[in-house]
Chains A and B, each alone.
Chain A
Amino acid sequence: MANAIEVENLTKYYGRPGAGVLAVDHISFEVRQGEVFGFLGPNGAGKTTTQRMLTTLLEPTEGRIVINGHDLARDAYPVKRQTGLVPEESNVYTELTAWDNLMFTAWLYRVPRAQRTARARKLLQDFGLWEKRDVKAENFSKGMRRRLSIAMAIIHRPPLLFLDEPTPGLDPQSSHAIRDLIRQLNAEGTTIFLSTHQIEEANQLCDRVAIINHGRIAAIDTPEHLKQAFRRVQSVEVALEPDGAAHGDALAALLGVATAVKMGDKWRLYTEDPSALLPLVMDYARSHDLRVTSLNTLGPSLEDVFLEITGQPVGTVRHEVQEGGSRQRGMKGQMGGQR
Protein backbone atom coordinates (compact mmCIF):
# COMPACT_ATOMS: atom_id res chain seq x y z
CA MET A 1 0.00 0.00 0.00
CA ALA A 2 1.37 3.46 -0.91
CA ASN A 3 2.21 5.92 1.82
CA ALA A 4 0.15 9.06 2.29
CA ILE A 5 2.79 10.58 4.58
CA GLU A 6 6.50 9.86 4.86
CA VAL A 7 8.46 11.64 7.55
CA GLU A 8 12.23 11.35 7.88
CA ASN A 9 14.30 12.72 10.72
CA LEU A 10 11.82 15.52 11.43
CA THR A 11 13.11 17.95 14.03
CA LYS A 12 11.85 21.22 15.44
CA TYR A 13 13.67 23.58 17.75
CA TYR A 14 11.87 26.66 19.06
CA GLY A 15 14.80 29.06 19.22
CA ARG A 16 18.32 28.36 18.04
CA PRO A 17 19.14 24.73 17.25
CA GLY A 18 21.03 23.34 20.21
CA ALA A 19 20.09 26.23 22.47
CA GLY A 20 16.30 26.51 22.07
CA VAL A 21 13.52 24.17 23.12
CA LEU A 22 13.63 20.87 21.28
CA ALA A 23 9.95 20.12 20.61
CA VAL A 24 10.35 17.32 18.06
CA ASP A 25 13.49 15.22 18.04
CA HIS A 26 14.43 13.45 14.78
CA ILE A 27 11.25 11.45 14.32
CA SER A 28 10.55 9.19 11.34
CA PHE A 29 7.33 7.40 10.43
CA GLU A 30 4.97 6.60 7.57
CA VAL A 31 1.21 6.81 7.29
CA ARG A 32 -0.36 4.44 4.76
CA GLN A 33 -3.08 5.44 2.35
CA GLY A 34 -6.52 4.78 3.77
CA GLU A 35 -5.57 4.21 7.38
CA VAL A 36 -6.45 6.05 10.56
CA PHE A 37 -3.10 6.85 12.11
CA GLY A 38 -3.11 7.88 15.74
CA PHE A 39 -0.50 10.26 17.11
CA LEU A 40 -0.75 9.69 20.81
CA GLY A 41 1.11 11.50 23.53
CA PRO A 42 0.73 13.57 26.69
CA ASN A 43 0.36 17.34 26.54
CA GLY A 44 3.61 18.96 25.41
CA ALA A 45 4.91 15.77 23.79
CA GLY A 46 5.22 17.35 20.33
CA LYS A 47 1.96 16.23 18.70
CA THR A 48 0.68 19.64 17.63
CA THR A 49 4.14 20.80 16.58
CA THR A 50 4.46 17.75 14.33
CA GLN A 51 1.02 18.27 12.87
CA ARG A 52 1.71 21.94 12.19
CA MET A 53 4.86 20.96 10.31
CA LEU A 54 2.91 18.40 8.29
CA THR A 55 0.34 21.03 7.33
CA THR A 56 2.92 23.68 6.27
CA LEU A 57 2.08 25.99 9.19
CA LEU A 58 5.46 25.52 10.83
CA GLU A 59 8.87 25.21 9.25
CA PRO A 60 10.90 22.21 10.39
CA THR A 61 14.41 22.82 11.68
CA GLU A 62 15.53 19.61 10.02
CA GLY A 63 14.10 16.62 8.21
CA ARG A 64 11.93 15.76 5.25
CA ILE A 65 8.19 15.44 4.79
CA VAL A 66 6.65 13.80 1.72
CA ILE A 67 2.87 13.85 1.36
CA ASN A 68 1.20 11.92 -1.45
CA GLY A 69 4.55 11.93 -3.28
CA HIS A 70 5.18 15.68 -2.94
CA ASP A 71 8.14 16.98 -0.96
CA LEU A 72 6.58 19.58 1.33
CA ALA A 73 9.64 21.84 1.37
CA ARG A 74 9.64 22.24 -2.42
CA ASP A 75 6.12 21.54 -3.56
CA ALA A 76 3.59 22.54 -0.90
CA TYR A 77 0.83 23.79 -3.22
CA PRO A 78 -0.55 20.41 -4.38
CA VAL A 79 -0.29 19.12 -0.81
CA LYS A 80 -2.39 22.01 0.46
CA ARG A 81 -5.02 21.18 -2.12
CA GLN A 82 -5.14 17.55 -1.01
CA THR A 83 -5.31 18.04 2.75
CA GLY A 84 -7.86 19.20 5.27
CA LEU A 85 -7.02 20.47 8.73
CA VAL A 86 -9.10 20.49 11.89
CA PRO A 87 -7.00 22.22 14.56
CA GLU A 88 -7.39 21.80 18.30
CA GLU A 89 -9.41 25.00 18.62
CA SER A 90 -12.45 25.11 16.33
CA ASN A 91 -11.35 27.96 14.08
CA VAL A 92 -14.68 28.88 12.56
CA TYR A 93 -15.58 32.49 11.84
CA THR A 94 -17.96 33.20 14.69
CA GLU A 95 -19.24 36.38 12.99
CA LEU A 96 -20.44 34.36 9.99
CA THR A 97 -23.32 31.91 9.71
CA ALA A 98 -22.68 28.19 9.33
CA TRP A 99 -23.63 28.49 5.67
CA ASP A 100 -21.27 31.42 5.04
CA ASN A 101 -18.42 29.61 6.80
CA LEU A 102 -18.84 26.64 4.49
CA MET A 103 -19.25 28.73 1.35
CA PHE A 104 -16.13 30.73 2.20
CA THR A 105 -14.07 27.57 2.59
CA ALA A 106 -15.49 26.10 -0.59
CA TRP A 107 -14.51 29.27 -2.47
CA LEU A 108 -11.08 29.26 -0.87
CA TYR A 109 -10.44 25.69 -2.04
CA ARG A 110 -11.93 26.49 -5.45
CA VAL A 111 -14.70 23.92 -5.25
CA PRO A 112 -16.52 24.24 -8.59
CA ARG A 113 -19.44 26.65 -8.46
CA ALA A 114 -21.98 23.94 -9.37
CA GLN A 115 -20.90 21.72 -6.46
CA ARG A 116 -20.46 24.30 -3.69
CA THR A 117 -24.08 24.59 -2.70
CA ALA A 118 -24.84 20.90 -2.96
CA ARG A 119 -21.83 19.90 -0.85
CA ALA A 120 -22.53 22.55 1.80
CA ARG A 121 -26.15 21.43 2.05
CA LYS A 122 -25.17 17.75 2.33
CA LEU A 123 -22.52 18.42 4.97
CA LEU A 124 -24.83 20.58 7.08
CA GLN A 125 -27.52 17.90 6.89
CA ASP A 126 -25.08 15.08 7.70
CA PHE A 127 -23.59 17.01 10.61
CA GLY A 128 -26.96 17.98 12.08
CA LEU A 129 -26.51 21.70 11.41
CA TRP A 130 -28.95 22.26 8.56
CA GLU A 131 -31.59 23.84 10.79
CA LYS A 132 -28.94 26.26 12.11
CA ARG A 133 -27.44 27.15 8.73
CA ASP A 134 -28.41 30.82 9.00
CA VAL A 135 -27.32 31.21 12.61
CA LYS A 136 -24.01 32.91 13.34
CA ALA A 137 -21.42 30.49 14.71
CA GLU A 138 -20.97 32.69 17.80
CA ASN A 139 -24.28 31.24 19.01
CA PHE A 140 -23.15 27.63 18.51
CA SER A 141 -22.19 25.21 21.29
CA LYS A 142 -18.67 23.83 21.40
CA GLY A 143 -19.81 20.58 19.81
CA MET A 144 -21.61 22.38 16.98
CA ARG A 145 -18.53 24.52 16.26
CA ARG A 146 -16.44 21.36 16.23
CA ARG A 147 -18.74 19.73 13.70
CA LEU A 148 -18.76 22.88 11.60
CA SER A 149 -14.96 23.07 11.62
CA ILE A 150 -14.77 19.44 10.46
CA ALA A 151 -17.31 20.17 7.72
CA MET A 152 -15.19 23.14 6.61
CA ALA A 153 -12.10 20.91 6.51
CA ILE A 154 -13.68 18.34 4.21
CA ILE A 155 -15.85 20.40 1.87
CA HIS A 156 -13.14 20.13 -0.82
CA ARG A 157 -13.04 16.33 -0.25
CA PRO A 158 -9.39 16.00 0.72
CA PRO A 159 -7.86 12.52 0.55
CA LEU A 160 -5.88 13.30 3.72
CA LEU A 161 -7.39 14.83 6.85
CA PHE A 162 -5.48 16.07 9.91
CA LEU A 163 -7.43 16.15 13.15
CA ASP A 164 -5.91 17.64 16.29
CA GLU A 165 -7.65 16.59 19.51
CA PRO A 166 -11.12 16.41 17.95
CA THR A 167 -13.19 15.55 21.04
CA PRO A 168 -11.80 16.95 24.33
CA GLY A 169 -14.23 19.20 26.15
CA LEU A 170 -17.23 17.86 24.27
CA ASP A 171 -20.22 16.12 25.80
CA PRO A 172 -20.35 12.33 25.28
CA GLN A 173 -23.03 12.64 22.58
CA SER A 174 -20.96 15.07 20.50
CA SER A 175 -17.79 13.01 21.01
CA HIS A 176 -19.61 9.89 19.87
CA ALA A 177 -20.98 11.69 16.80
CA ILE A 178 -17.53 12.96 15.83
CA ARG A 179 -15.95 9.53 16.23
CA ASP A 180 -18.66 8.11 13.97
CA LEU A 181 -17.88 10.82 11.44
CA ILE A 182 -14.20 9.92 11.50
CA ARG A 183 -15.04 6.26 10.91
CA GLN A 184 -17.37 7.19 8.06
CA LEU A 185 -14.79 9.44 6.38
CA ASN A 186 -12.20 6.70 6.65
CA ALA A 187 -14.62 4.15 5.22
CA GLU A 188 -15.07 6.48 2.25
CA GLY A 189 -11.31 6.38 1.64
CA THR A 190 -9.96 9.39 3.54
CA THR A 191 -6.62 8.87 5.25
CA ILE A 192 -6.81 10.29 8.77
CA PHE A 193 -3.97 11.60 10.89
CA LEU A 194 -5.39 11.87 14.40
CA SER A 195 -3.45 13.65 17.14
CA THR A 196 -4.90 12.88 20.53
CA HIS A 197 -4.05 12.37 24.16
CA GLN A 198 -7.24 10.35 24.62
CA ILE A 199 -6.07 6.78 24.71
CA GLU A 200 -9.44 5.12 24.37
CA GLU A 201 -10.19 7.28 21.33
CA ALA A 202 -7.00 6.07 19.66
CA ASN A 203 -7.82 2.49 20.67
CA GLN A 204 -11.29 2.69 19.12
CA LEU A 205 -10.41 4.54 15.92
CA CYS A 206 -6.85 3.90 14.85
CA ASP A 207 -5.40 1.21 12.61
CA ARG A 208 -1.95 2.10 13.92
CA VAL A 209 -0.73 4.30 16.73
CA ALA A 210 2.52 6.18 17.24
CA ILE A 211 3.26 7.07 20.84
CA ILE A 212 5.28 10.27 21.13
CA ASN A 213 6.89 11.47 24.33
CA HIS A 214 9.37 14.30 24.88
CA GLY A 215 9.48 14.86 21.11
CA ARG A 216 10.51 11.30 20.30
CA ILE A 217 8.50 8.41 18.98
CA ALA A 218 8.55 5.68 21.59
CA ALA A 219 6.54 3.07 19.70
CA ILE A 220 4.54 2.57 16.51
CA ASP A 221 2.23 -0.39 15.99
CA THR A 222 -1.38 -1.48 15.98
CA PRO A 223 -3.15 -1.00 19.33
CA GLU A 224 -3.41 -4.76 19.82
CA HIS A 225 0.28 -5.41 19.06
CA LEU A 226 1.27 -2.65 21.46
CA LYS A 227 -0.81 -4.24 24.17
CA GLN A 228 0.72 -7.66 23.54
CA ALA A 229 4.22 -6.23 23.72
CA PHE A 230 3.57 -5.04 27.24
CA ARG A 231 2.52 -8.18 29.04
CA ARG A 232 4.09 -6.88 32.24
CA VAL A 233 1.18 -4.53 32.70
CA GLN A 234 -1.37 -7.32 33.05
CA SER A 235 -3.38 -7.20 36.23
CA VAL A 236 -5.64 -8.99 38.65
CA GLU A 237 -8.62 -7.00 39.88
CA VAL A 238 -10.13 -8.06 43.19
CA ALA A 239 -12.94 -6.78 45.41
CA LEU A 240 -12.87 -7.90 49.03
CA GLU A 241 -15.44 -7.58 51.86
CA PRO A 242 -15.67 -6.41 54.51
CA ASP A 243 -13.48 -3.30 54.48
CA GLY A 244 -11.57 -4.22 51.31
CA ALA A 245 -10.08 -0.72 51.06
CA ALA A 246 -7.91 -1.35 54.14
CA HIS A 247 -5.94 -4.19 52.53
CA GLY A 248 -3.98 -2.25 49.88
CA ASP A 249 -0.58 -2.47 51.56
CA ALA A 250 -0.94 -6.18 52.21
CA LEU A 251 -2.09 -6.94 48.67
CA ALA A 252 0.77 -4.86 47.25
CA ALA A 253 3.19 -7.00 49.27
CA LEU A 254 2.05 -10.28 47.67
CA LEU A 255 4.69 -12.03 45.57
CA GLY A 256 4.75 -10.79 41.96
CA VAL A 257 2.70 -7.62 42.49
CA ALA A 258 4.38 -4.62 40.88
CA THR A 259 1.78 -2.02 41.80
CA ALA A 260 -1.54 -1.99 43.61
CA VAL A 261 -4.00 0.70 42.60
CA LYS A 262 -7.42 1.29 44.16
CA MET A 263 -10.14 1.39 41.51
CA GLY A 264 -13.42 2.28 43.23
CA ASP A 265 -14.25 -0.59 45.61
CA LYS A 266 -11.65 -2.83 43.96
CA TRP A 267 -7.88 -3.20 43.97
CA ARG A 268 -6.03 -3.65 40.72
CA LEU A 269 -2.79 -5.60 41.22
CA TYR A 270 -0.34 -5.19 38.32
CA THR A 271 1.78 -8.26 37.66
CA GLU A 272 3.63 -10.08 34.90
CA ASP A 273 2.00 -13.39 35.86
CA PRO A 274 -1.69 -13.18 36.79
CA SER A 275 -2.09 -16.97 36.96
CA ALA A 276 0.53 -17.22 39.71
CA LEU A 277 -1.00 -14.34 41.62
CA LEU A 278 -4.59 -15.61 41.65
CA PRO A 279 -4.05 -18.38 44.28
CA LEU A 280 -2.05 -15.96 46.45
CA VAL A 281 -4.96 -13.53 46.47
CA MET A 282 -7.41 -16.31 47.35
CA ASP A 283 -5.11 -17.55 50.17
CA TYR A 284 -4.86 -14.01 51.51
CA ALA A 285 -8.65 -13.59 51.53
CA ARG A 286 -9.15 -16.94 53.26
CA SER A 287 -6.53 -16.28 55.91
CA HIS A 288 -8.10 -12.91 56.78
CA ASP A 289 -11.73 -14.08 56.69
CA LEU A 290 -12.51 -11.90 53.68
CA ARG A 291 -15.12 -12.63 51.04
CA VAL A 292 -14.00 -12.24 47.40
CA THR A 293 -16.95 -10.49 45.74
CA SER A 294 -15.24 -10.25 42.35
CA LEU A 295 -11.98 -11.46 40.84
CA ASN A 296 -10.84 -10.77 37.26
CA THR A 297 -7.66 -11.01 35.26
CA LEU A 298 -7.11 -8.14 32.83
CA GLY A 299 -4.81 -7.87 29.82
CA PRO A 300 -2.88 -4.65 29.30
CA SER A 301 -4.97 -1.74 28.07
CA LEU A 302 -3.59 0.79 25.60
CA GLU A 303 -3.68 3.22 28.49
CA ASP A 304 -1.37 0.98 30.51
CA VAL A 305 0.96 0.67 27.53
CA PHE A 306 0.95 4.44 27.12
CA LEU A 307 1.77 4.99 30.78
CA GLU A 308 4.56 2.43 30.65
CA ILE A 309 6.08 4.00 27.54
CA THR A 310 5.81 7.55 28.78
CA GLY A 311 7.41 6.57 32.07
CA GLN A 312 4.46 7.40 34.30
CA PRO A 313 3.44 5.11 37.18
CA VAL A 314 0.62 2.85 36.06
CA GLY A 315 -2.64 3.83 37.73
CA THR A 316 -1.82 7.38 38.77
CA VAL A 317 -2.43 9.30 35.60
CA ARG A 318 -5.58 7.34 35.00
CA HIS A 319 -7.18 9.04 37.98
CA GLU A 320 -5.81 12.47 37.19
CA VAL A 321 -7.15 12.38 33.67
CA GLN A 322 -10.45 10.62 34.02
CA GLU A 323 -11.67 11.26 37.50
CA GLY A 324 -10.81 14.87 38.16
CA GLY A 325 -9.15 16.83 40.92
CA SER A 326 -10.96 15.48 43.98
CA ARG A 327 -10.06 11.93 43.03
CA GLN A 328 -6.49 12.96 42.42
CA ARG A 329 -6.26 14.29 45.98
CA GLY A 330 -7.77 11.09 47.25
CA MET A 331 -5.08 9.09 45.46
CA LYS A 332 -2.32 10.58 47.56
CA GLY A 333 -3.40 8.57 50.55
CA GLN A 334 -3.76 5.46 48.48
CA MET A 335 -0.35 5.60 46.87
CA GLY A 336 1.01 3.95 49.97
CA GLY A 337 -0.35 0.79 48.45
CA GLN A 338 2.27 0.95 45.72
CA ARG A 339 5.73 -0.35 46.15
Chain B
Amino acid sequence: MRAGWIGRLQDELAQAWIVMVKDMKVHYLRPGVIMFGFLMPFFMFFSFSVRREMAAAQGVARLLALTTFFTAGAMGPFIIPVERRVGTYDRLLAAPMSLLTLLLAKTAVGAVFAIAVSVFALLVGVVAFGATIAQPWLLAAVAILSSFSFSALGLIFGSIPTRNPGDVQMPSTLLRWVLLFISGVFIPLAEMAPSARALAYLSPLTYAQDLMNHAVLDTGYLNPWLDLAVLLASGILFLLPSILMHRRGRVLGY
Protein backbone atom coordinates (compact mmCIF):
# COMPACT_ATOMS: atom_id res chain seq x y z
CA MET B 1 0.00 0.00 0.00
CA ARG B 2 1.25 3.46 -0.87
CA ALA B 3 0.86 6.61 1.20
CA GLY B 4 -1.07 9.73 0.11
CA TRP B 5 -4.00 10.11 -2.23
CA ILE B 6 -1.90 9.54 -5.36
CA GLY B 7 -0.66 6.29 -3.89
CA ARG B 8 -4.19 5.34 -2.93
CA LEU B 9 -5.37 6.08 -6.46
CA GLN B 10 -2.59 3.92 -7.88
CA ASP B 11 -3.58 1.13 -5.52
CA GLU B 12 -7.24 1.39 -6.47
CA LEU B 13 -6.43 1.30 -10.19
CA ALA B 14 -4.22 -1.75 -9.69
CA GLN B 15 -6.97 -3.44 -7.68
CA ALA B 16 -9.58 -2.69 -10.35
CA TRP B 17 -7.21 -4.16 -12.94
CA ILE B 18 -6.55 -7.38 -11.02
CA VAL B 19 -10.26 -7.90 -10.25
CA MET B 20 -11.03 -7.45 -13.95
CA VAL B 21 -8.33 -9.90 -15.04
CA LYS B 22 -9.47 -12.42 -12.43
CA ASP B 23 -13.09 -12.14 -13.60
CA MET B 24 -12.04 -12.67 -17.20
CA LYS B 25 -10.30 -15.91 -16.23
CA VAL B 26 -13.14 -17.08 -14.02
CA HIS B 27 -16.29 -16.03 -15.88
CA TYR B 28 -15.74 -15.52 -19.61
CA LEU B 29 -16.18 -19.14 -20.58
CA ARG B 30 -19.24 -19.85 -18.45
CA PRO B 31 -22.15 -21.20 -20.55
CA GLY B 32 -24.53 -18.47 -19.34
CA VAL B 33 -22.13 -15.74 -20.37
CA ILE B 34 -21.55 -17.27 -23.81
CA MET B 35 -25.29 -17.72 -24.32
CA PHE B 36 -26.42 -14.25 -23.26
CA GLY B 37 -23.25 -12.36 -24.14
CA PHE B 38 -21.98 -13.90 -27.35
CA LEU B 39 -24.82 -15.71 -29.11
CA MET B 40 -27.72 -13.40 -28.22
CA PRO B 41 -26.62 -10.33 -30.28
CA PHE B 42 -26.00 -12.46 -33.36
CA PHE B 43 -29.30 -14.23 -32.86
CA MET B 44 -31.09 -10.88 -32.57
CA PHE B 45 -29.30 -9.49 -35.60
CA PHE B 46 -30.16 -12.40 -37.87
CA SER B 47 -33.74 -12.57 -36.57
CA PHE B 48 -34.49 -9.01 -37.62
CA SER B 49 -32.14 -8.53 -40.55
CA VAL B 50 -32.25 -11.66 -42.70
CA ARG B 51 -34.11 -11.29 -45.99
CA ARG B 52 -34.23 -7.52 -45.66
CA GLU B 53 -32.33 -5.49 -48.16
CA MET B 54 -29.50 -3.84 -46.33
CA ALA B 55 -26.02 -2.62 -47.26
CA ALA B 56 -23.12 -4.42 -45.58
CA ALA B 57 -22.06 -1.27 -43.74
CA GLN B 58 -25.58 -0.71 -42.47
CA GLY B 59 -25.66 -4.30 -41.20
CA VAL B 60 -22.31 -3.84 -39.46
CA ALA B 61 -23.52 -0.68 -37.69
CA ARG B 62 -26.62 -2.51 -36.45
CA LEU B 63 -24.70 -5.61 -35.41
CA LEU B 64 -22.15 -3.56 -33.48
CA ALA B 65 -24.86 -1.65 -31.62
CA LEU B 66 -26.60 -4.92 -30.71
CA THR B 67 -23.31 -6.53 -29.69
CA THR B 68 -22.29 -3.78 -27.30
CA PHE B 69 -25.81 -3.64 -25.89
CA PHE B 70 -26.34 -7.35 -25.22
CA THR B 71 -22.79 -8.52 -24.57
CA ALA B 72 -21.77 -5.73 -22.20
CA GLY B 73 -24.99 -6.00 -20.22
CA ALA B 74 -24.80 -9.78 -19.85
CA MET B 75 -21.92 -9.94 -17.38
CA GLY B 76 -23.11 -7.90 -14.40
CA PRO B 77 -26.41 -9.72 -13.80
CA PHE B 78 -24.57 -13.02 -13.96
CA ILE B 79 -21.23 -12.74 -12.21
CA ILE B 80 -22.15 -10.83 -9.06
CA PRO B 81 -25.01 -13.12 -7.93
CA VAL B 82 -22.82 -16.16 -8.73
CA GLU B 83 -19.97 -14.72 -6.66
CA ARG B 84 -22.38 -13.89 -3.85
CA ARG B 85 -23.66 -17.47 -3.88
CA VAL B 86 -20.22 -19.07 -3.62
CA GLY B 87 -18.96 -16.48 -1.12
CA THR B 88 -16.16 -15.02 -3.23
CA TYR B 89 -17.89 -11.64 -3.44
CA ASP B 90 -17.30 -11.22 0.31
CA ARG B 91 -13.59 -11.50 -0.42
CA LEU B 92 -13.86 -8.46 -2.70
CA LEU B 93 -16.12 -6.48 -0.38
CA ALA B 94 -13.79 -7.07 2.57
CA ALA B 95 -10.69 -6.06 0.60
CA PRO B 96 -9.12 -2.62 1.14
CA MET B 97 -10.58 -0.94 -1.92
CA SER B 98 -13.52 1.38 -2.45
CA LEU B 99 -16.92 0.20 -3.63
CA LEU B 100 -16.57 2.43 -6.68
CA THR B 101 -13.32 0.70 -7.64
CA LEU B 102 -15.01 -2.68 -7.37
CA LEU B 103 -17.97 -1.53 -9.48
CA LEU B 104 -15.71 0.00 -12.12
CA ALA B 105 -13.78 -3.26 -12.30
CA LYS B 106 -16.99 -5.23 -12.75
CA THR B 107 -18.13 -2.73 -15.39
CA ALA B 108 -14.84 -3.15 -17.22
CA VAL B 109 -15.28 -6.94 -17.26
CA GLY B 110 -18.49 -6.62 -19.29
CA ALA B 111 -17.14 -3.78 -21.40
CA VAL B 112 -13.97 -5.61 -22.43
CA PHE B 113 -16.01 -8.69 -23.32
CA ALA B 114 -18.32 -6.55 -25.47
CA ILE B 115 -15.40 -4.81 -27.17
CA ALA B 116 -13.80 -8.17 -27.99
CA VAL B 117 -17.04 -9.55 -29.46
CA SER B 118 -17.54 -6.27 -31.37
CA VAL B 119 -14.09 -6.61 -32.92
CA PHE B 120 -15.04 -10.12 -34.01
CA ALA B 121 -18.34 -8.85 -35.49
CA LEU B 122 -16.52 -6.00 -37.22
CA LEU B 123 -13.97 -8.35 -38.76
CA VAL B 124 -16.77 -10.58 -40.07
CA GLY B 125 -18.48 -7.51 -41.57
CA VAL B 126 -15.33 -6.08 -43.16
CA VAL B 127 -13.65 -9.30 -44.32
CA ALA B 128 -16.66 -11.42 -45.26
CA PHE B 129 -19.07 -8.76 -46.50
CA GLY B 130 -16.70 -6.02 -47.60
CA ALA B 131 -18.16 -3.32 -45.35
CA THR B 132 -16.23 -0.07 -45.12
CA ILE B 133 -15.90 2.13 -42.06
CA ALA B 134 -16.23 5.90 -42.58
CA GLN B 135 -14.66 7.05 -39.30
CA PRO B 136 -12.64 4.24 -37.63
CA TRP B 137 -11.57 6.37 -34.63
CA LEU B 138 -15.13 7.40 -33.92
CA LEU B 139 -16.14 3.76 -34.20
CA ALA B 140 -13.50 2.81 -31.61
CA ALA B 141 -14.72 5.59 -29.31
CA VAL B 142 -18.38 4.64 -29.59
CA ALA B 143 -17.64 0.93 -29.13
CA ILE B 144 -15.71 1.65 -25.92
CA LEU B 145 -18.15 4.22 -24.56
CA SER B 146 -21.31 2.27 -25.28
CA SER B 147 -19.75 -0.95 -23.96
CA PHE B 148 -18.97 0.73 -20.62
CA SER B 149 -22.37 2.40 -20.50
CA PHE B 150 -24.32 -0.80 -21.19
CA SER B 151 -22.12 -2.81 -18.85
CA ALA B 152 -22.96 -0.30 -16.10
CA LEU B 153 -26.63 -0.81 -16.96
CA GLY B 154 -26.26 -4.58 -16.50
CA LEU B 155 -24.44 -3.98 -13.23
CA ILE B 156 -27.58 -2.42 -11.77
CA PHE B 157 -29.26 -5.81 -11.95
CA GLY B 158 -26.20 -7.58 -10.62
CA SER B 159 -26.32 -5.27 -7.62
CA ILE B 160 -29.78 -6.42 -6.58
CA PRO B 161 -29.25 -8.11 -3.21
CA THR B 162 -29.65 -11.77 -4.15
CA ARG B 163 -27.48 -14.87 -4.45
CA ASN B 164 -29.44 -16.36 -7.32
CA PRO B 165 -28.59 -15.23 -10.89
CA GLY B 166 -32.06 -16.39 -11.98
CA ASP B 167 -33.64 -13.68 -9.83
CA VAL B 168 -32.00 -10.93 -11.88
CA GLN B 169 -31.70 -12.49 -15.35
CA MET B 170 -35.43 -12.20 -16.01
CA PRO B 171 -35.90 -8.49 -15.14
CA SER B 172 -32.56 -7.66 -16.77
CA THR B 173 -33.50 -9.38 -20.03
CA LEU B 174 -36.99 -7.85 -19.96
CA LEU B 175 -35.65 -4.32 -19.59
CA ARG B 176 -33.07 -4.82 -22.33
CA TRP B 177 -35.74 -6.08 -24.72
CA VAL B 178 -37.93 -3.06 -23.98
CA LEU B 179 -35.00 -0.70 -24.52
CA LEU B 180 -34.16 -2.56 -27.72
CA PHE B 181 -37.63 -2.37 -29.24
CA ILE B 182 -38.25 1.30 -28.43
CA SER B 183 -34.80 2.26 -29.78
CA GLY B 184 -33.86 3.24 -33.30
CA VAL B 185 -32.03 -0.01 -34.08
CA PHE B 186 -34.65 -1.71 -36.24
CA ILE B 187 -36.54 1.36 -37.45
CA PRO B 188 -34.37 4.41 -38.22
CA LEU B 189 -35.21 7.50 -36.18
CA ALA B 190 -35.98 9.49 -39.31
CA GLU B 191 -38.73 7.03 -40.27
CA MET B 192 -40.39 6.94 -36.84
CA ALA B 193 -43.59 8.73 -35.90
CA PRO B 194 -42.89 11.67 -33.56
CA SER B 195 -44.41 9.84 -30.56
CA ALA B 196 -42.30 6.71 -31.25
CA ARG B 197 -39.23 8.88 -31.69
CA ALA B 198 -39.87 10.56 -28.34
CA LEU B 199 -40.03 7.08 -26.78
CA ALA B 200 -36.83 6.08 -28.60
CA TYR B 201 -34.98 8.95 -26.96
CA LEU B 202 -35.50 7.18 -23.61
CA SER B 203 -33.32 4.26 -24.69
CA PRO B 204 -29.53 4.69 -24.50
CA LEU B 205 -29.30 2.20 -27.35
CA THR B 206 -30.79 4.83 -29.64
CA TYR B 207 -27.77 7.07 -29.12
CA ALA B 208 -25.32 4.17 -29.53
CA GLN B 209 -26.97 3.16 -32.81
CA ASP B 210 -27.00 6.75 -34.07
CA LEU B 211 -23.32 7.14 -33.24
CA MET B 212 -22.53 3.80 -34.90
CA ASN B 213 -24.28 5.16 -38.00
CA HIS B 214 -22.10 8.28 -37.88
CA ALA B 215 -18.95 6.15 -37.49
CA VAL B 216 -19.72 3.46 -40.07
CA LEU B 217 -22.02 5.18 -42.59
CA ASP B 218 -20.95 8.78 -41.99
CA THR B 219 -24.57 9.76 -41.49
CA GLY B 220 -26.83 10.00 -38.46
CA TYR B 221 -30.00 11.63 -37.22
CA LEU B 222 -28.71 13.31 -34.05
CA ASN B 223 -25.64 15.42 -33.38
CA PRO B 224 -22.77 12.97 -32.65
CA TRP B 225 -21.65 15.11 -29.71
CA LEU B 226 -25.11 14.72 -28.19
CA ASP B 227 -24.87 10.93 -28.66
CA LEU B 228 -21.46 10.89 -26.96
CA ALA B 229 -22.65 13.08 -24.10
CA VAL B 230 -25.75 10.95 -23.46
CA LEU B 231 -23.75 7.69 -23.50
CA LEU B 232 -21.16 9.13 -21.13
CA ALA B 233 -23.77 10.58 -18.76
CA SER B 234 -25.89 7.41 -18.77
CA GLY B 235 -22.80 5.29 -18.02
CA ILE B 236 -22.08 7.44 -14.95
CA LEU B 237 -25.74 7.58 -13.89
CA PHE B 238 -26.10 3.80 -14.19
CA LEU B 239 -23.43 3.36 -11.49
CA LEU B 240 -25.48 5.26 -8.90
CA PRO B 241 -28.25 2.68 -8.40
CA SER B 242 -25.55 0.00 -8.13
CA ILE B 243 -23.84 1.92 -5.34
CA LEU B 244 -27.14 2.42 -3.52
CA MET B 245 -28.10 -1.24 -3.86
CA HIS B 246 -24.72 -2.39 -2.59
CA ARG B 247 -25.23 -0.18 0.45
CA ARG B 248 -28.68 -1.71 0.88
CA GLY B 249 -27.17 -5.18 0.51
CA ARG B 250 -24.76 -4.36 3.36
CA VAL B 251 -27.75 -3.60 5.58
CA LEU B 252 -29.65 -6.72 4.51
CA GLY B 253 -26.64 -9.02 4.78
CA TYR B 254 -25.88 -9.87 1.12
B128: Cβ under 8 A from any A Cβ: no
User: Do A80 and B250 touch (CB < 8 A)?
Assistant: no
* CB–CB B251/A59 < 8 A: yes
Q: A29 on the interface (CB 8 Å rule)?
A: no
Q: Do the beta carbons of A55 and B26 come within 8 Å of each other? A: no
Given contacts A58-B253, A93-B26, A110-B11, A87 and B95 within 8 Å (CB-CB): no
Residues of B within 8 A of A59 (CB): 247, 250-251
* Number of cross-chain contacts by CB at 8 Å: 71
| A interface bracket (residues with beta carbon within 8 Å of B) | 20 to 34
Quote the shortest CB–CB distance from B101 to chain A (angstroms).
11
Smallest beta-carbon distance B16→chain A, Å: 10
What 1/0 flags go to B159-200 for Cβ under 8 Å of A? 000000000000000000000000000000000000000000
Contact (Cβ within 8 A) A85 B15? no
By beta carbon, the residue of chain A nearest B18 is A107
Which bucket holds chain B's interface residue count? 20 to 34
Query: From B89, which residue of chain A is reached at the shortest CB distance?
Result: A91
Q: Say whether A109 faces chain B, with CB atoms less than 8 Å apart.
A: yes
> At the interface, is chain B mostly helix, strand, loop or mixed?
helix
What is the interface of chain A, defined by CB distance below 8 A to chain B? 14, 49, 52, 55-59, 77-78, 80-81, 83, 85, 87, 89-96, 100, 104-105, 107-110, 152
12 additional A-B pairs beyond A85-B91, A95-B25, beta carbons within 8 Å, are A52-B253, A56-B94, A59-B251, A80-B94, A83-B94, A85-B94, A91-B86, A93-B26, A93-B88, A94-B86, A95-B26, A110-B96
* 30 A–B contacts from the bound complex (CB under 8 Å): A14-B253, A49-B253, A52-B253, A55-B94, A56-B94, A59-B247, A59-B251, A77-B96, A80-B94, A81-B1, A81-B96, A85-B91, A87-B90, A91-B86, A91-B88, A93-B88, A95-B26, A96-B26, A104-B18, A105-B91, A107-B15, A107-B18, A108-B15, A108-B18, A108-B19, A109-B96, A110-B1, A110-B14, A110-B15, A110-B96
